[in-house]
């Protein structure tokens, strides 16, 4: 089921809120997770249940405070099926939710995945100043981005992201390649999505050519940008000397791990007693090289994290936003995860059926590994 949805009063954001209100009023959804402005301008995410409150929801808010998949993992680890919760999420958030479902960290039954197009977002920190007092900021952003316009103020990861349209969804609400003052693109991919569209007046049609072309244009431009960024990155990171330098400022705060949507262990190995060394142990390590960096084993943390998470990394770059010493993690993880996933013909979050690369194997594959 797909088609265009008429936009009321040149206000796409309000039109989307109207859909939410309908679903909450007739109890098709018990609640819906949507971006919102708190305290008058700070980007956040909220779980709305009362349709009256929806005026404060900002579904098209173009700033990312968290990857909301982390929140989904908090609230829907073993969700009961009597609550139906809608998740209005960006493509990278949906991809992370898909990975978490495969990692058995999110129970899918009570959730409806509602995707929104996202051509890019601003960092949450400082976004208040970007937006100013402009109440129509979100709609202006949508108008500006509907034709794809490069924006160098977007988050690093967003500037390299080729997926403006969600990969897996029950329902998608899109504006890329549309005239968002007049109509939005709505598409249901599953029965859950179709159930939400019942009673919604759609102009049924195939996905418009202009939309497809715009998405392709965006994707091509972003791939080119990624390649250029990785070329720059390589000059700064390749080889043991540079790699050590790249991570030299690390404070060992583990923020990058804590905010990572797919870093799912409830207790990280690196927060465990294994790394609670006493002084004698530190001296023993120091004796070997004459000195040892403190806090210790920060590079080990990052390299291990890469080995553990790169197969599922969705390249959202929220790690970089959370880093207090601004280590360029977004481009680095983009490169490392793309290469790693390529080995297994895997794209994280692109399918619920494709097994996780490290949770499966075939007898006849990688025959040279272990032999030479």
Partner 1 sequence: MANYEPKIVGFLCNWCTYAGADLAGTSRMQYPPNMRPIRVMCSGAVDSVYILRALLEGADGVFIGGCHPGDCHYVSGNYKARRRMVLFNSVMNSLGLDTDRVWLRWISAAEGRKFADTITEMTEHLSKKGPSAFKDKWEV
Residues near partner 1 (CB under 8 A) are: 234, 237-244, 248, 269, 285-286, 288-293, 297-300, 303-304, 306-308, 310-311, 335-336, 339-340, 342-344, 357-358, 360-363, 365-366, 369-371
Contact 55, 135 (CB under 8 A): no
For residue 209, the minimal CB distance to partner 1 (Å) is 37
Find all residues with CB under 8 Å of 279, minimum gap 6, and list them: none
Q: What long-range pairs does 232-235 form, CB within 8 A, spacing at least 24? A: 232/331, 233/328, 233/331, 233/332, 233/335
Cβ distance to partner 1 smaller for residue 192 or 335: 335
Cβ distance to partner 1 smaller for residue 5 or 313: 313
Q: Half-sphere exposure (CA, 13 Å, Cβ side) for 183?
A: 17
Cβ distance to partner 1 smaller for residue 176 or 310: 310
Cβ distance to partner 1 smaller for residue 41 or 357: 357
For residue 106, the minimal CB distance to partner 1 (Å) is 23
Find all residues with CB under 8 Å of 322, minimum gap 6, and list them: 255, 256, 258, 259
Contact 92, 314 (CB under 8 A): yes
For residue 367, the minimal CB distance to partner 1 (Å) is 8
Cβ distance to partner 1 smaller for residue 130 or 303: 303
Contact 113, 97 (CB under 8 A): yes
For residue 223, the minimal CB distance to partner 1 (Å) is 17
Helix (H, G, I), strand (E, B) or coil at 27: coil
For residue 131, the minimal CB distance to partner 1 (Å) is 36
Measured in whole angstroms, how far is the alpha carbon of residue 154 from the centre of its chain? 14
Cβ distance to partner 1 smaller for residue 126 or 295: 295
**How far is the C-alpha of 151 from the C-alpha of 129, rounded, in Å?**
16
Enter the tokens of residue 243: 């790699």
Q: Output the DSSP codes for 236-269.
A: HHSSHHHHHHHTTT-----HHHHH-SS---SS-G
Contact 161, 120 (CB under 8 A): yes
Cβ distance to partner 1 smaller for residue 83 or 285: 285
For residue 93, the minimal CB distance to partner 1 (Å) is 24
Residue with tokens 């998608």: 172
For residue 129, the minimal CB distance to partner 1 (Å) is 36
Helix (H, G, I), strand (E, B) or coil at 174: strand
Cβ distance to partner 1 smaller for residue 166 or 349: 349
For residue 289, the minimal CB distance to partner 1 (Å) is 4
């Amino acid at each position: 089921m797909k088609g265009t949805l008429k936009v009321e009063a040149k206000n796409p954001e309000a039109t989307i809120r109207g859909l939410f209100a309908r679903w909450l009023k007739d109890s098709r959804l018990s609640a819906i997770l949507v971006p919102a402005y708190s305290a008058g301008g700070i980007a956040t995410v909220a779980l709305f249940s009362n349709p009256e409150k929806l005026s404060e929801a900002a579904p098209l808010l173009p700033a990312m405070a968290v990857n909301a998949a982390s929140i989904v993992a908090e609230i829907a680890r073993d969700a009961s099926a009597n609550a139906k919760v809608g998740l209005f999420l960006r493509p990278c958030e949906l991809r992370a939710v898909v990975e978490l479902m495969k990692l058995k960290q999110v129970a899918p039954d009570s959730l409806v995945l509602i995707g929104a197009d996202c051509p890019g977002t601003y960092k949450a920190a400082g976004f208040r100043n970007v937006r100013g007092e402009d109440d129509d900021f979100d709609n202006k952003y949508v108008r500006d981005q509907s034709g794809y316009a490069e924006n160098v103020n977007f988050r690093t990861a967003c500037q390299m992201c080729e997926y403006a349209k969600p990969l897996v969804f029950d329902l998608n609400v899109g504006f890329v390649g549309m005239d968002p003052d007049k109509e939005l693109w709505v598409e249901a991919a599953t029965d859950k999505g179709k159930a939400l569209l019942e009673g919604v007046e759609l102009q049924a049609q195939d996905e418009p050519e202009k939309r497809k072309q715009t998405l392709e244009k965006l994707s091509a431009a972003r791939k080119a940008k990624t390649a250029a960024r990785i070329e720059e990155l390589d000059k700064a990171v390749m080889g043991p000397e540079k790699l050590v330098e790249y991570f030299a400022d690390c404070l060992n705060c583990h923020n990058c791990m804590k905010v990572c949507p797919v870093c799912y262990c409830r207790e990280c190995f690196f927060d465990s007693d294994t790394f609670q060394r006493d002084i004698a142990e530190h001296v023993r390590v120091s004796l070997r090289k004459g000195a040892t960096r403190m806090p210790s084993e920060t590079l080990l943390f990052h390299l291990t994290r890469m080995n553990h998470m790169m197969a599922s990394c969705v390249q959202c770059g929220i790690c970089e936003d959370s880093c207090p010493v601004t280590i360029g993690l977004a481009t680095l993880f983009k490169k490392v995860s793309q290469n790693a996933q390529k080995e297994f013909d895997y794209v994280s979050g692109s399918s619920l059926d494709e097994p996780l690369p490290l949770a499966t194997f075939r007898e006849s594959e990688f025959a040279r590994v272990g032999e030479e």
